[in-house]
Structure 1
Amino acid sequence: MLLIKSKKMRDMIRIAVPFIAVPMITIVGAVAFDEKKHIIISLAVAVSALLLFAAGFEKKSTGTRRMVIVAVMVALCFAGRFIPFLKPIAALTIITALYLGSEAGFLVGSLSAILSNFYFGQGPWTAFQMLAWGLIGFFAGLLADRLLKSRVLLLIYGAAAGLAYSFIMDIWTVLWYNQGFDINLYLAALVTAIPYTVSYAVSNVLFLYLLAPPFGEKLQRIKIKYGV
């Protein structure tokens, strides 16, 4: 397990990876790379997510334990994509971030996308899904203190996460259709995607309402028992 000992380096990685490196890899990959090379971009995002995760812990044993829990949450997200219409991936990513931190949330969101797409279909859109679900988890971790204190705020965040996912994915829609970004096409894509956006928001709210209490209780016990 990679261990980053320098606090300054860890702090730099926590900022650079989710807000600079991964967005740049995703956008540049969509614009400059041939569609047949999309898996290279997705793998680059996955490696970046793993680096971010490694920056989130100071002790090797603690990081290993967190990785085991993250693997379980990714597996649950993978299985959740087989549920028709409403998907629990964002909700499970958010729950992970609330109890294990922003870095774990980003990793669960991004790995869930690339791994499940080996079944549902890889493509240039995979990196955008990884970015979207990763950021949803990352910001949930940053807001964990407030979201854990208020179930209403948690559900509101879930709804907002559904909107954010749609907004990010529609960037890919415009780039794919227009071979470049156009604000008018982007606005049109947002309007066209309203039914899907609503389904994302409703799905997040529903699964957070149902899953946050039981999953949160179990994750909290694991944190205390194993010192994660």
Structure 2
Amino acid sequence: MSTYRLTLIAVLAAMATVGRFFMQHIPNVQPVTAIIILSAFFLGPLSGFMLATITTYLTNLALGMGIWTLWQILAWSLIGVIAGFLGKFVRRHVRLTLSVFGFFSGFLFGFFFAFINYLVSGKFLGYYILGLPFDFYHAISNVLFIMLLYRPFLLLFNRELTGFNQRK
């Protein structure tokens, strides 16, 4: 991995961290998932994994570190890896595909935490159902951030990577 790529991942992690700090007063509305999805789509699964790990660690240093940090890292890393593999196969209707994936990622993130809660406490259904409105906020904000950030990210990554011109 090049120094430029590592620097780019660090800058993206800083951007996601600032976005999460800025939006922390609105429950589950944050640009982190969208930034991970877009970055992993263009840079690949490993970059998505690294970005998810760094961003989660940085944001939780200030917002509160706990056992949930590991689960956040795993959930966002899973989303990043899936988005990275989507980037290898999706060539048409990219913005629509990423928006749909972003929407479902909001629910995947919540389901992941409900499953972890089940493993820890034995309770799943109540926790999952009560979390659905927050998962919906997360899903909608992912779509909005992906729609807002897709074009700037496309231009940013076109400078580093070739072959994405046809994805406009």
User: In which range does the TM-score fall when normalised by the shorter chain?
Assistant: 0.7 to 0.9
- Among 104, 111, 114, which residue is 1:170 paired with? 114
**2: CA distance between counterparts of 1:74 and 1:148?**
26
TM-score (norm 1): 0.65
TM-score (norm 2): 0.87
Structure 1 letter corresponding to 2:139: A
- Residue 72 of structure 1 is matched in structure 2 by 11
For the pair shown, the structure with the greater C-alpha radius of gyration is 1
Pick closer, same or farther for the CA change 1:67–1:136 going to 2, 3 Å.
same
Pick closer, same or farther for the CA change 1:76–1:148 going to 2, 3 Å.
farther
Which aligned segments of 4 or more residues in structure 1 are displaced greater than 2 angstroms?
A: 145-149, 171-176
- Among 49, 53, 63, which residue is 2:2 paired with? 63
- Residue 52 of structure 2 is matched in structure 1 by 109
SS at match of 2:30: coil
After superposition, give the CA deviation of every residue in 1:140-189 in whole Å (9 maximum; x if it has no partner).
0101145452122211100011111101122333345x2xxx3xx21221
Greater relative contact order, per chain length (Cα 8 Å cut-off, separation 6+): 2
Range with bigger deviation, 63-72 or 215-224: 215-224
Check conservation: 2:103, 2:142, Cα contact below 8 A: yes
Check conservation: 2:36, 2:76, Cα contact below 8 A: yes
Gaps of 5+ in 1: 1-61
Alignment partner of 1:220 is 2:158: yes
Identity of aligned residues (%): 32
SS at match of 1:212: helix
Check conservation: 2:37, 2:98, Cα contact below 8 A: no
* Matched residue count: 157
How big is the alpha-carbon RMSD for the aligned residues of Structure 1 and Structure 2?
Answer: 1.5
Check conservation: 1:98, 1:148, Cα contact below 8 A: no
